[in-house]
Structure 1
Amino acid sequence: MLLTKIDTVVFVTVLLVAQCTATIPHFLNGRPKNGMLGKPKARDTTAPLPKDQWFEQKVDNFNDANTKTWQQRYFVNDQFYEEGGPVFIMLGGEGPLAPIWMVEGAWVNYAQALNAMMFSIEHRFYGKSHPTMDMSTENLQFLSSEQALADTGNFIQYAKQRYGLHDNKWISFGGSYSGSLSAWLRLKYPHLIYGAVATSAPLLALIDFKTYLGVTEASLGTTGPVCNTEISKATAAVESLITTDSGRMQLKTMFKLCEDINPANIYDVANFYSLLAGNFEGVVQYNRDNRDFEGGVGGNITIDTLCGVMNDTSRGSAIERYAMINSMILSTYGENCLDISYKSMIDDLRKTDWNSSAAAGGRQWLYQTCTEFGFFQTSDLEDQPFGHGFPLNFSVQQCMDIYGSQFNADLINKGINRTNTNYGAQDIKASRIIFPNGSIDQWHALGKLLDLPDGSVAIFINGTAHCANMYPPSPDDPEGLVQARQLIKSLITIWTLPLA
Structure 2
Amino acid sequence: MKAFSLVAGLLVAHGAAAARAYSNTGSKRQYDSESGPTIPSYYFDVPVDHFSSNTDTYKNRYYVNDTYYQTGGPVILQDMGEEGFTQSAAQTYMGGEDARSASMELAKQLHGIVIGWEHRYYGRSLPVEMDDDTYIPKQGLDGYKYLTVQQALEDVAYFANNFNKTDLADNKVIKSTASLDPYHTPWIFVGGSYPGSRAAWLRLTHPEIIYASWASSAPVQAQYDGSLYFDPIARALPKNCTNDFAAAAKYIDETFKSGTNSELSAMKYAYSAIFDYYGYSDESDFSDDYSDEVTAYAIGEAFSDLIAGGGQYQDAGAATTTQLICDYMEGFDVKGFKNGVADASSSKDILSVLEDLDGSGSNFPTDGVAASIDSNGDYYAFWAAIWAAYNFYQDDSYDDSYYRTVKRSKTPRVHKLRIPDAEEDSMMTDNYAWTWQTLQEVGYYQASNDSNNGESYPLLSDAFNTSSFRIELMESFEYYSYSDLSYSDFPTYLNNSWLESLGGWNIKASNVMFTNGEFDPWRAFSVATQESHAGAPNRTITQDVPACNKVSNGSDAFGIVYEGAVHASDLVWWPGIDGGQANLTKPLDDGVQLFLNAWSVWSKCFNASRDDIRNGKGVDGSGHGANGSTPSSGSGSGSGSGSSDNSDDKKNAASRANEVLGFASLGALVAGFFLI
Asked if these proteins are the same fold (TM beyond 0.5), I'd say: yes
CA contact (8 A) 1:24 1:362 kept: no
Counterpart pick for 1:75 among 63, 69, 72: 63
Aligned length: 458
Name the CA shift for 1:28/1:444 in 2 (closer, same or farther; >3 Å).
same
Q: CA RMSD in A?
A: 3.8
The residue that corresponds to 1:418 in the other structure is 498
Q: Deviations over 1:317-351 (max 9, x none)?
A: 613123322444996124999x999xx969xxxxx
| AA in 2 matched with 1:418 | W
Which residue in 2 is equivalent to 1:294?
Answer: none
Residues 44-123 of structure 1: matches in 2 within 5 Å? 46-64=35-53, 66-97=54-85, 98-100=89-91, 101-103=93-95, 104-123=100-119
- Write the deviation string for residues 267-315 of structure 1: whole angstroms up to 9, x where unpaired: xx413321331233233311349xxxxxxxxxx8334433333332354
Q: Secondary structure at the match of 2:493?
A: helix
| 2:352 is the alignment partner of 1:285 | no
Pairing 1:317-396 to 2, within 5 Å after superposition: 318=384, 319-328=386-395, 332-334=399-401, 359-380=428-449, 381=452, 382=455, 383-396=457-470
> 1:133 and 2:212 equivalent?
no
Q: How far apart are 1:111 and its partner, in Å?
A: 0.8
SS in 2 for 1:286: helix
Residue 29 of structure 2 aligns with which residue? 39
Check if 1:177 corresponds to 2:203: no
Q: CA deviation at 1:234?
A: 4.5
TM-aligned CA deviation for residue 225 of structure 1:
1.7
| Distance in 2 of aligned mates of 1:313 and 1:265 | 25
The 5 Å alignment of 1:241-260 reads: 243-257=263-277, 260=289
Q: Name the structure 2 match of 1:203.
A: 220
User: In 2, Cα distance between the equivalents of 1:491 and 1:19?
Assistant: 53
SS at match of 2:159: helix
Q: Within 2, Cα distance between the matches of 1:334 and 1:74?
A: 28
CA distance in 2, matches of 1:129, 1:410: 27
Query: Which of 161, 164, 186 is the aligned partner of 1:157?
Result: 161
Q: 1:304 to 1:254 in 2, by over 3 A?
A: closer
- 1:25 lines up with 2:15 in the alignment: yes
Secondary structure (helix, strand or coil) at the match of 2:316 reads coil
SS at match of 1:309: helix
1:302 aligns with 2:321: yes
Instruction: Kindly state the Cα deviation for residue 147 of structure 1 after the two structures are TM-superposed.
Output: 1.0
The CA deviation string for residues 76-135 of structure 1, in whole angstroms up to 9 with x for no partner, is 011100001111001221111121211141221111011001101100111111111122
Change (3 A) 1:80 1:19: farther
CA contact (8 A) 1:198 1:435 kept: yes
What's the offset of the Cα at 1:33?
A: 9.4
Report SS of the residue matched to 1:255.
helix
Give the corresponding residue for 2:518: 439
Residue 367 of structure 1 and its aligned partner are, at CA, apart by: 0.7
**Which residue does 1:405 correspond to in 2?**
487
TM-score by length of 1: 0.80
SS at match of 1:125: coil
Give, in angstroms, the shift of residue 496 of structure 1.
3.1
Q: CA deviation at 1:178?
A: 0.7
Residue 355 of structure 1, CA deviation: 9.0
Structure 2: distance between partners of 1:254 and 1:161: 57
Q: Confirm or deny that 1:457 pairs with 2:582.
A: no
**CA deviation after TM superposition for structure 1 residue 264, in Å:** 6.3
Structure 1 unaligned segments of length 5 or more: list them: 1-10, 290-299, 347-353
Shift of residue 30, structure 1, vs aligned partner: 3.6
Range with greater deviation from structure 2 (203-212 or 384-393): 384-393
Q: How far off its partner does 1:410 sit? A: 5.4
- C-alpha displacement at 1:376, in angstroms? 0.4
Asked whether the equivalents of residues 23 and 194 of structure 2 are also in contact (C-alpha less than 8 Å), the reply is no
For 1:77 and 1:59, the matched residues in 2 are separated by 26
For 2:205 and 2:113, how far apart are their aligned partners in 1? 22
Report which stretch shifted further, 383-392 or 86-95: 383-392
Given residue 18 of structure 2, which amino acid in structure 1 is its aligned partner? L
* Separation (CA, whole Å) in 2 of partners of 1:368 and 1:124: 12
CA contact (8 A) 1:227 1:311 kept: yes
Distance in 2 of aligned mates of 1:327 and 1:68: 51
How far is 1:70 from its partner?
Answer: 1.2
Task: Indicate if the aligned counterparts of 2:193 and 2:219 stay in contact, CA closer than 8 A.
Answer: yes
User: Match for 1:458: what amino acid?
Assistant: G
Task: Give the structure 2 partner of residue 5 of structure 1.
Answer: none
SS of corresponding position for 1:53? strand
- Distance in 2 (alpha carbons) for counterparts of 1:357 and 1:499: 39
When Rg is computed on C-alpha atoms for both structures, the one with the higher figure is 2
Q: Given the superposition, is the C-alpha separation of residues 394 and 270 from structure 1 closer, same or farther in structure 2, using an over 3 Å criterion?
A: same
Residue ranges of structure 2 left out of the alignment (5+ in a row):
131-136, 167-176, 282-287, 334-357, 360-382, 412-422, 478-484, 529-538, 576-581, 608-676
483-492 vs 370-379, which deviates more?
483-492
364-373 or 314-323, which moves further after superposition? 314-323
Percent of residue pairs bearing the same amino acid type? 23
Separation in structure 1 between the aligned mates of residue 58 and residue 584 of structure 2, nearest angstrom: 42
